[in-house]
Amino acid sequence: MRFDIVSLFPEIFSGYLGESLLSKAIEQQLVSVNVHDLRKWTTDKHQRVDDRPFGGGPGMVIQVEPVVRCVEEIQQLGQQPGNIILLTPTGKRLDQKLVEELVDTPRHLLLCGRYEGFDHRVVDILKPMEISIGDYILNGGEVAAMAMIESLIRLVPGVLGDEMSNVDDSFSSGNRILEYPQYTRPREYRGFQVPEVLLSGDHQAIDDWRKAQSIERTRDRRHDLLGESDDGDVDQKTS
């Protein structure tokens, strides 16, 4: 899977790309990540890529021209053009279902916004998918791009050492329930004990306990996932 990232702050990615799972995946050539500095495509002598918004208001808007020129050039690299994704808090919210859909596409071009966003003609011309990673505001799309890349590469075969380790995860493949709590040694710490059932060797009892923990957690923390209304009845809506 190939990623091209367009950013005004490309150095943000260097630490991330050099670490752990992702660097191993890059080394094994399962994943490649190419970071591009948008400023390279400016024709302005001061290397400016932003300007004040028409109509007034706070902040600056990234200009359409360098973005379109940059994307068109990057799309020429590699065997096929990438799926263009614009990271913006006004986009469709990323969830595991969308991640699972995107993993079938071998190349993605991620546009990271800053300031008040891009001139809207970027959207008119490039027709990107617009994606947000949640209902809160970040300073730019860079952290969102990293979150997206990480969620995608976990599903690329061979990237996770243990192929099974994402099967049980909260949210995987239609799994709409949170994961149960895990424990390891020591059995007791500061008076807190590992639940007895996990030491019992009774696999059925352990399975039952974990399932119950998952349901309880999901009820407590993410009632929305259970498709039930607050009084415990199954919700009317089918969506």
Q: Which residues are catalytic?
A: 89, 116, 154, 169
How many angstroms separate the CA atoms of 133 and 94, rounded? 5
The residue from 43, 104, 124, 137 that contacts ligand 6GU (CB under 6 A) is 137
The residue from 67, 144, 159, 178 that contacts ligand 6GU (CB under 6 A) is 144
User: Which among 139, 153, 131, 122 has a CA at the least distance from the CA of 9?
Assistant: 139
Helix (H) or strand (E) holding 62: strand 61-62
What phi and psi, each to the nearest 5 degrees, are found at residue 130? Answer: -105, 120
Ranges within 79-118 binding ligand 6GU (CB under 6 A): 87-89
Question: Under the criterion CB under 6 A, does residue 10 sit at the interface with ligand 6GU?
Answer: no
How many angstroms separate the CA atoms of 195 and 216, rounded? 16
How many angstroms separate the CA atoms of 29 and 160, rounded? 14
The residue from 43, 136, 188, 191 that contacts ligand 6GU (CB under 6 A) is 136
How many angstroms separate the CA atoms of 131 and 109, rounded? 12
How many angstroms separate the CA atoms of 211 and 217, rounded? 10
Instruction: From 29-37, 129-137, 177-185, 188-196, give the range in contact with ligand 6GU by CB under 6 A.
Output: 129-137
Question: Under the criterion CB under 6 A, does residue 58 sit at the interface with ligand 6GU?
Answer: no
The residue from 12, 68, 103, 138 that contacts ligand 6GU (CB under 6 A) is 138
User: Which among 88, 95, 96 has a CA at the least distance from the CA of 129?
Assistant: 88
x-or-dash string of contact with ligand 6GU, 12-41, rule CB under 6 A = ------------------------------
The residue from 49, 70, 133, 152 that contacts ligand 6GU (CB under 6 A) is 133
Question: Under the criterion CB under 6 A, does residue 59 sit at the interface with ligand 6GU?
Answer: no
Q: How far is the CB of 197 from ligand 6GU (least distance, A)?
A: 39
Closer of 13 and 180 to ligand 6GU (Cβ): 13
Return the ∠ at Cα 100 (arms to 97 and 105), rounded to 5°. 135
- Note the residues at the interface with ligand 6GU (CB under 6 A): 87-89, 132-134, 136-138, 140-141, 144
